[in-house]
Amino acid sequence: MLILSILFSMKKTPFLLLLLLTALLSAGCSNTGNKEEWAIVIHGGAGSARSMTPEAREKYMDLLDQALKVGTEMLENGAEALDVVTQVVVWLEDCPYFNAGKGAVMTSNGVHELDAALMDGRDLQAGAVAGVRDIKNPILAARHVMEDSPHVLLIGEGASAFAKSMGLTMVENSYFSTPERLEQIKRIKEKRETPDPKGTVGCVALDRNGNLAAATSTGGMSGKRWGRVGDVPVIGAGTYANNNTVAVSGTGHGELWIRRCVAFDISALMDYKGLSVEEAARKVIFDKIDKMEGSGGGVICVDKNGNIAMEFNTNIMFRAWATASGQNGTAIEH
């Protein structure tokens, strides 16, 4: 009303008034930021396809689909990307069939040590925990590190003490064990199986307000040395989000992801070189990671416009995706 009375007092012609009002109204509309676009991609780890029965394959497809539904429902209802990636990763951590939270792999001396991180593309805030042994949902601890501490990364006992002080659920280390993981570490110790990174979980999302977020959680590489920290909690290696470019979550041979700053490199290629999200992800995985010795892996990405990319140089990457424009699916192989 104030604006209107000022305009009338200015005694401008009706035509000028109309122009001014139209400009004001359209500026108001764009400020709501309520774009209808949203997009989400989830991964459940990349690796080499060992014997997977048709039943196991079907089960994984179903689990990925369930996790995807958690995220898509939230995004459709207008939830923030940061809440969506947190919630999806909590669901995957609680699911015993992935290498994160319950069901995580073990170190060579039979202990579970977990890493997790998340990042908010709005303001580049990030939180991470590494080498934690007793936090039921490491991704929630990472979120608290971001929101309730002045730090980005807390490790081991310090991270646990902080998580406890935040009221998070603490568990015995044996909570994370499953019969499959106990069998696996036995095979690795007896040299019947080589350590293989597979099963890490991650989620990237673009919400209706144009905000990006990424979250990743893992037990790391099976049979790793205790105290080893992988790429997941290293911001810019396994996890990264920036509203100006892209949100990325990685899975695979973490040492390579750290050395190549994989997630940040994808963002930088888009930022400085103007590559599309698919071109940038392919370049990093196939021109860089593929040329290094190690067991490779993959990335999931969503850019600021809701374009998605899922690239991997391993045989398989468990993944699921959905966008407001109707793309939707789950897949394991190429």
Q: Binding residues for ligand ASP, per CB under 6 A?
A: 45, 99, 197-200, 218, 220-221, 230-232, 238, 251-252, 254, 297
Residue among 45 and 306 whose Cβ is closer to ligand ASP: 45
Tokens coding 305: 């416009």
Min CB(220)–ligand ASP separation in Å: 4
DSSP-based three-state secondary structure for 164: helix
Q: What's the half-sphere exposure (Cβ side, CA atoms, 13 Å) at 237?
A: 19
Helix ranges, 77-155 (H): 81-94, 138-148
| Catalytic, out of 200, 245, 323, 330 | 200
Instruction: Establish whether 200 is a catalytic residue.
Output: yes
Tell which residue, 56, 89, 73, has the closest CA to residue 238. 89
Min CB(256)–ligand ASP separation in Å: 9
Min CB(30)–ligand ASP separation in Å: 39
The alpha carbon of 270 is separated from its chain's Cα centroid by a whole number of angstroms, namely: 18
Residue among 168 and 229 whose Cβ is closer to ligand ASP: 229
Alpha-carbon distances, residue 91 vs 136, 170, 196, 214, 309 (angstroms): 12, 17, 23, 15, 22
Tell which residue, 262, 261, 215, 269, has the closest CA to residue 245. 269
Residue among 252 and 306 whose Cβ is closer to ligand ASP: 252
Burial bucket for residue 198 (CB in 10 Å: 0-12, 13-18, 19+): buried
Tokens coding 100: 């994160």
Q: Which helix (H) or strand (E) covers residue 18, if one does?
A: helix 14-32
Taking CA 107 as the corner, what is the angle to CA 101 and CA 108, rounded to the nearest 5 degrees? 155
Residue among 136 and 198 whose Cβ is closer to ligand ASP: 198
Q: What's the half-sphere exposure (Cβ side, CA atoms, 13 Å) at 9?
A: 6
Residue among 127 and 254 whose Cβ is closer to ligand ASP: 254
Residue among 79 and 195 whose Cβ is closer to ligand ASP: 195
Min CB(76)–ligand ASP separation in Å: 29
Cα dihedral 92, 95, 97, 98 sign: positive
Task: Enumerate the active-site residues.
Answer: 200
